Amino acid sequence: MRKTLIFAVFLSLTSAPAALAAMTVALGAPWDGVTVPAGQQCKLDRGGKGATPPMTVSGLPAGTAQVVVAFNDRDYPPLSKQGGHGTIGFAVSGPKAVLPPVPGHTKKMPAGAMVVARAKSTGSYASAGYLPPCSGGKKHRYFAIVSAVDAAGKTLEQVTVELGKY
């Protein structure tokens, strides 16, 4: 009995599928995750012309149809969760995706990208899509939640990415 049990455990361990690679996100230049690059702030702060950071997402789970990126500000509660600075979706296929930068303050997106939810900002800070960092240089910490989503809208995996301080 003991030999059978040991053999069964050994068999299950050796025949189990290999562990799946975890989803990872790498920011593209000039974004480094530490400091928001010059010029990437909102148009209200020193005439910024901010765009989302370019990202490379690797290890996408099988069945991923879209990568959805929700942008947030950790230090301003009204825009600190659920895509406070806007949520952008990108159509993808395969285990890796390169997400291009999309401009701030507009709903016009490059091919394959779409505004899932506009920024939650109001008044002169309102944006039809992504609102670039807009703290006026007060060292707010910006981050994004990157989600792999299937065709039915189910989230398969999420990764939080630090974008930097501004």
Q: CATH number, domain at 106?
A: 3.90.280.10
For residue 28, tell me if it sits in a domain.
yes
> Could you give the CA distance from residue 98 to residue 55 in angstroms, rounded to a whole number?
6
The yes-or-no verdict on residue 95 having pLDDT over 60 is: yes
153: alpha, beta or left? (left if phi > 0; alpha if psi -120 to 50): left
**4 pLDDT band (50/70/90 cuts)?**
very low
8 within a domain of the structure (yes/no): no
CA nearest 95: which of 20, 158, 31? 20
Provide the number of structural domains found in the chain: 1
In a domain, 85, yes or no: yes
155 strand-pairing partners: 149
Q: Is residue 152 part of a domain?
A: yes
* Bridging pattern class, strands 24-27 and 55-58: antiparallel
126-161 per-position pLDDT tens digit:
999 999 999 988 999 999 999 999 999 999 999 999
Give yes or no for a contact between 57 and 158, defined as CB atoms under 8 angstroms apart.
no
Range of the domain at 44: 21-165
- For the entire predicted model, the pTM comes to 0.87
- What CA–CA distance (Å, rounded) separates 100 from 102? 6
